Structure 1
Amino acid sequence: MDWREYAEQMALLARDLLAQGSVQATLDEIAASAVKLVDGCDAAGILAVRKGRAVTLASCGDIVQDSDRLQGELGEGPCYDLARRKDGERVYRIADMAQPQPTWERFAAQARKLGIGSMTGVLLYTDSEDFGALNLYACRPGAFSKDIETAGWLLASHAAVALADARTIDQLQHAMETRAAIGEAMGILMERHQLSGDDAFSVLRRVSQEHNIKLRDVAQKVRAERTDPAV
């Protein structure tokens, strides 16, 4: 592997990821970039485990979702275990899926039928958060050499930083939209019922609590229908 060229590609990737407009766009670009940048990679995806369930956050290639679904059904597999931080591992590599895989015996047997020849993956994480596992697939055995562990770690490190940044921006945008929605809904109630700001907010909060509906959703209902927030 030409590490100088790869480093230049990582620099370009970092800029591309930071230019994405949303968390999902960043996830999708990470998967697509892995296929473009890693030699021998035919497909790539990001898998997370939420409440014990395998969730495909992004995929580039049909085989990704088939593999994620299989691991979720079996409750085992390299991506599934890595996303759960089982045994504290942050990277895995299966050089040849046709060779015995004692740790993931059931998965390996089914993975061969899906056309997976070799796999590798690395955890997407920062100091404060795990985002899931970035997994790379190849149709042929032996596609990923030992160098892939370093290459994958470099790619995942850039990706995790960009993903953390995208999530922060997304959360800030969401918070701004929520405040705007609540403010407008309060204004509607204040004008219609001659309420104070505190009283209008209390009405929204009461409906939210009584009906177990998010405050933002109650506010959006008032804005959209310009009716009292009764359910």
Structure 2
Amino acid sequence: MTPEDVVRGPDVDHAAVVPPSDDFRNELADAAREMQDDDSPKEAMERAVKIATQIIPGCQAAGICVVHRGERIDTHAASDDLVREIDALQHELSEGPCLDALREDHTVVSDDLATDARWPQWGPRVVQQLGLASSVSYRLYSTDKDLGALNLYGAEVSAFTAEDVADGLALAAHVGVALAAAQQVEHLEYALRGRTVTGQATGILMERFDLSPDRAFSVLSRLSQQKNVKLREIAEQIVTTRTLPTV
């Protein structure tokens, strides 16, 4: 990462990014080992945001969010409820550093949220309502795919030094691995649920209309095409209502 990768608010000098200190590297290595001992990626992310508040001096709160289809923001981990409120505001106002980190810049730094022109609504509300004054957001990757953002918040103006920003980037590299694993688990669970509900709907049709398995699945496929909706949605409706959807 070069200094050009760090985007600060207007009228603020770009600070040089310094490499993490040896002490921080040791702390981060210990934290990474603790994260690896967690039972699930979700637990690893929850631990990571708590670690951020412990080993990055300026960090008062931290969170990991994912933006789905550029619209809905989900908070995957939060050091406290303040972060969930922050993400909800970003979703409500469609502006904020998490969105910028995902859409535009690798690392987004704001030394003063109250006056940052990039987020004229979100920034002042975070300061006034939640008592946080500065932030750093890091875009997270896995196999070159944008997955989400690690967000750090400080209670003071200019809470994060150049060294803090570099330290956070090192932590973000570990968080990205946990987030990628969590999404893989989520996708697998979704696929398994889909196969389960499709099987349940097929069974209902077989019993209700005395159909063979192949014929029952053909009925689901035909309904899916006629209504122009995913087969899974048709199956869920049949399982929930125990009736065929109207065309």
1:152-163, aligned counterparts within 5 Å?
152-163=168-179
Does residue 11 (structure 1) correspond to residue 33 (structure 2)? The answer is yes
Q: 2:136 aligns with which of 120, 131, 135?
A: 120
Q: For 2:127 and 2:209, how far apart are their aligned partners in 1?
A: 67
- Aligned residue number for residue 73 of structure 2: 55
- Aligned residue number for residue 202 of structure 1: 218
Q: For 2:70 and 2:203, how far apart are their aligned partners in 1?
A: 43
* Contact 2:35/2:44 (8 A) holds in 1: no
- Aligned residue number for residue 188 of structure 2: 172
Task: Note the residue ranges of structure 1 that are not aligned, 5 or more in a row.
Answer: none
Q: For 2:239 and 2:116, how far apart are their aligned partners in 1?
A: 57
Instruction: Label 1:76 to 1:214 Cα distance change in 2 as closer, same or farther (>3 A).
Output: closer
1:213-228, aligned counterparts within 5 Å?
213-223=229-239, 227-228=242-243
* Contact 1:49/1:132 (8 A) holds in 2: yes
- Aligned residue number for residue 99 of structure 2: 80
Greater mean deviation of Cα atoms: 118-127 or 186-195: 186-195
* Contact 1:42/1:61 (8 A) holds in 2: no
Greater mean deviation of Cα atoms: 43-52 or 145-154: 43-52
Instruction: Label 1:179 to 1:78 Cα distance change in 2 as closer, same or farther (>3 A).
Output: closer
Does residue 34 (structure 1) correspond to residue 49 (structure 2)? The answer is no
Q: CA deviation at 1:13?
A: 1.8
Q: For 1:163 and 1:69, how far apart are their aligned partners in 2?
A: 20
**TM-score for both structures, normalised by structure 1:** 0.75
SS class of match (1:136): strand
Give the aligned residue type for 1:20. S
- Aligned residue number for residue 138 of structure 1: 154
**TM-score for both structures, normalised by structure 2:** 0.71
Q: CA deviation at 1:149?
A: 2.4
Q: How many percent of aligned residue pairs carry the same amino acid?
A: 35
- Aligned residue number for residue 244 of structure 2: 229
Q: For 1:187 and 1:110, how far apart are their aligned partners in 2?
A: 53
Instruction: Label 1:192 to 1:93 Cα distance change in 2 as closer, same or farther (>3 A).
Output: closer
* Contact 1:95/1:145 (8 A) holds in 2: no
Greater mean deviation of Cα atoms: 107-116 or 37-46: 107-116
Q: For 1:186 and 1:101, how far apart are their aligned partners in 2?
A: 55
Does residue 20 (structure 1) correspond to residue 56 (structure 2)? The answer is no
Instruction: Label 1:37 to 1:200 Cα distance change in 2 as closer, same or farther (>3 A).
Output: farther
Task: Note the residue ranges of structure 2 that are not aligned, 5 or more in a row.
Answer: 1-20
SS class of match (2:159): coil
* Contact 2:205/2:216 (8 A) holds in 1: yes
Q: For 2:197 and 2:98, how far apart are their aligned partners in 1?
A: 39
